[in-house]
Structure 1
Amino acid sequence: MNTELLDALTALERDKGISKQVLIEAIEAAIVSAYKRNFNQAQNVRVDFNQETGTIRVFARKEVVDEVYDSRLEISLDEAKRINPNYQVGDVVEIEVTPKNFGRIAAQTAKQVVTQRVREAERGVIYAEFVDREEDIMTGIVQRTDSKFIYVSLGKIEALLPVSEQMPNETYKPHDRIKVYITKVEKTTKGPQIYVSRTHPGLLKRLFELEVPEIYDGTVEIKSVAREAGDRSKISVHSDNPEVDPVGACVGPKGQRVQAIVNELKGEKIDIVRWSADPVEFVANALSPSKVLDVIVNEEEKATTVIVPDYQLSLAIGKRGQNARLAAKLTNWKIDIKSQSEAEQLGIYPRSSSSFEVDEEEISEVE
């Protein structure tokens, strides 16, 4: 053992952020085990690592007793006094027992400890980096696939994209670049494990943050997201600035901003609607592109009955109920859709007290 090890420990402390003292303590503990294993020793020993010269010595620790029962752990008072007259019963005597050929074993053990600690430190750095990126978006490169996962390289680590989080309208080939949403970062015995998604509503939200500067700087806020990945999504947006049109900002000039997101999601349709604190207005907006005649609100059950023109009924409900389902998720209100003629038969439309008006401009904005 020489100063090369000390230089290496100093470099690791500087470059990897691993405490030199922690490494030395780990090396000393590992060398104790190596000594006992290689020299068939069961005695109590201590390893001394000289931080100036890099030399390592092994000392047997024995308790001073009147009568010795185990010579590996005990030493008589008479024998101890021959070493130092000041020793008393109960003291601990240290006797050097460093084997002649122990240097090679110590060096090998030290190398193994350093390698392991470096690996653990690197894993810790990666975990710390990615645990802060949970619920964030990253661009990855598809590496390979199997029956359970698609393995996506995120640079320093490979993430797992489970089958359940894959878009039904997408195929993934090696070397494809895809944007993924980090759903979970776990610390395991083999290092950090990262799970990502292409179907999570958070992916849509992050994509809009990337494409729309007004969302990134906080001028426009995404209030809620409802998504059926690969098919259709709805987002509600709002701005406290009356001079800013939140829907228009998300659509972008000639629809460029929203189209970039649609392309990233392989053609997934996206409805952008204006959020409102008024459930009547919000639910009506959420059902776009359908026109709405009236919204009857039941505050206690957090439910609404929506009246639409007869010719708009199928559009309001959507294919397999998708439009109504997404609107309910987006608004967090139950939505029961009825045609105008059915509502008239039930006597719930028109209402004399209703002040609801259809904002044609608002609807066309989103179509």
Structure 2
Amino acid sequence: MEKILDIAEAIANEKGLQPDKVLEALKTAFVQTAKRVINPNFAYEAQIDDTTKSIKIIQTITVVEDNDPKLQDPELAPAYMAISEARSYDDQVELGDQLQEEHDLEDYGRTGASQLHREIEYHIQRMVEDEVFSKYKSKIATIVNGRVTRVDANNATYIEVDEIRAVLPMKSRIKGEIFKVGDVLKAVVRRVNMDKETGIYIELSRTSPKFLEALLELEVPEIEDGSVVIEKSARIPGERAKIAIFSTHPQVDAVGATVGVKGVRINAVSEELIGENIDCIEYTNIPELFVSRAMSPAIISHVEIVTNDEGEVEKAVVTLPSDQKSKAIGKSGINIRLASMLVGMDIELIENDSVTTDSSGEQEEQKDGVDALEALFN
């Protein structure tokens, strides 16, 4: 067991770990080995000997009464000592004091050596996994780049990201995307789990609104430095998206900075998203104005926020000219759906000719005497 400290330093350098943590893992491995090859009921402590650069195993022996039942138990007795016996070594010993006895794992031959090897390997591997888990846990909602290594029968795409393999499920791919082995792609880290049996599981996504936000941060310096902030976003992947942004600097135009000269910035993001159209909206904390802007490109006449008896928002009732209805709804209801997702409430449209449309894109002719506010469809 000589020069174990040198071994700890070598492992730390090879695995990119902190030497102190590696040393703690080695001490744990020594203690667990002692429990397995000596006696699992003993209390052990691993101590570092800086002179020999080794780790010592110290067994703790507790001083008890002469008639303590533990002394009669064959398995427990070695962990305890009668006070009369203890005082034959040191007359200052008191009940409850803990004496120490050193053990050398080399005395247990090949069994001790092989068990120690397995324990060290196990604890170092767990440490490596914990480091990787913490690293990628901190990367949730951020973009990673990787190379496709496999596409399985369920069209789940396996991507090699640095030192680990991540998974892009079929549901998290933009409609129409096809990947093959060797392709390099970007995705956002959606979820990171640790399982004792399967190890680390990293799930990526290209359909999450966070992917859109992360791409914009890469493309727009003002978002990266914080002078433009993305407040909210909503996507129907591969088709259309809306983002609500605002400026924290009086001389920065949030929408202009995000779109870029001749749309160069927003077009670069759209290209990565397979042609997804992106609407940039200036955010406001005034609900009625925010809803009106979210309904762009439709021109809105009036917005009313409807609340229940508890003061909770139920829906937004939007009044607009008849000729703006198709713009407000959008193809297959996509505009009103995205607007509803962005503002976080159902939206009901009321036209001048008393036809209402809700945020699902459905329409209903209003009967005479029926209040338009009751026309929200679920």
Matches within 5 A, 1:335-350: 335-342=347-354
Which of 236-245 and 266-275 deviates more? 236-245
Q: Does 1:327 align with 2:377?
A: no
The separation in 2 between residues aligned to 1:234 and 1:114, in whole angstroms, is 52
TM-score, with length taken from structure 2 = 0.72
The separation in 1 between residues aligned to 2:303 and 2:62, in whole angstroms, is 88
Determine which structure has greater relative contact order: mean sequence separation of CA pairs < 8 Å that are 6+ residues apart, divided by chain length.
1
Q: Does 1:318 align with 2:324?
A: no
Q: CA deviation at 1:43?
A: 9.0
Q: Which runs of 5+ in 1 are unaligned?
A: 37-41, 347-367
The separation in 2 between residues aligned to 1:270 and 1:294, in whole angstroms, is 24
Q: 1:62 to 1:330 in 2, by over 3 A?
A: closer
Partner of 1:305: 318
Matches within 5 A, 1:1-367: 1-3=1-3, 5-12=4-11, 16-17=17-18, 18-35=21-38, 51=49, 52-53=51-52, 54=54, 86=89, 102-146=108-152, 147=154, 149-189=156-196, 190-290=198-298, 292-300=299-307, 301-310=314-323, 312-342=324-354
Partner of 1:363: none
The DSSP-based 3-state class of the residue aligned with 2:26 is: helix
Aligned residues of 2:56 and 2:102 also touching (Cα < 8 A): no
Aligned residues of 1:295 and 1:305 also touching (Cα < 8 A): yes
Q: 1:45 to 1:188 in 2, by over 3 A?
A: closer
Q: 1:252 to 1:34 in 2, by over 3 A?
A: same
Q: 1:27 to 1:253 in 2, by over 3 A?
A: same
Q: CA deviation at 1:131?
A: 1.4
Which of 248-257 and 176-185 deviates more? 176-185
- Percent of aligned positions with the same letter in both sequences? 29
The DSSP-based 3-state class of the residue aligned with 1:288 is: coil
Q: What residue identity is the alignment partner of 2:194?
A: K
TM-score, with length taken from structure 1 = 0.74
Q: Which runs of 5+ in 2 are unaligned?
A: 308-313, 356-364, 367-378
Aligned residues: 333
Q: CA deviation at 1:133?
A: 1.4
Q: What residue identity is the alignment partner of 1:308?
A: P
Q: 1:104 to 1:297 in 2, by over 3 A?
A: same
Q: 1:23 to 1:271 in 2, by over 3 A?
A: same
The DSSP-based 3-state class of the residue aligned with 1:218 is: coil
Q: 1:103 to 1:45 in 2, by over 3 A?
A: farther
Which of 110-119 and 17-26 deviates more? 17-26
Q: 1:145 to 1:56 in 2, by over 3 A?
A: same
Q: How well do the aligned residues superpose, as a CA RMSD in angstroms?
A: 4.0
Q: 1:254 to 1:59 in 2, by over 3 A?
A: closer
Structure with greater Cα Rg: 1
The separation in 2 between residues aligned to 1:183 and 1:21, in whole angstroms, is 32
Partner of 2:370: none
Aligned residues of 1:233 and 1:268 also touching (Cα < 8 A): yes
| 1:155-198 superposed Cα distances (whole Å, 9 cap, x missing partner) | 12222222322222211222222221222222221433222211
Q: What residue identity is the alignment partner of 1:171?
A: I
| 1:261-281 superposed Cα distances (whole Å, 9 cap, x missing partner) | 111111111111222344444
Aligned residues of 1:62 and 1:74 also touching (Cα < 8 A): no
Aligned residues of 2:169 and 2:205 also touching (Cα < 8 A): yes
Which of 51-60 and 191-200 deviates more? 51-60
The separation in 2 between residues aligned to 1:92 and 1:161, in whole angstroms, is 55
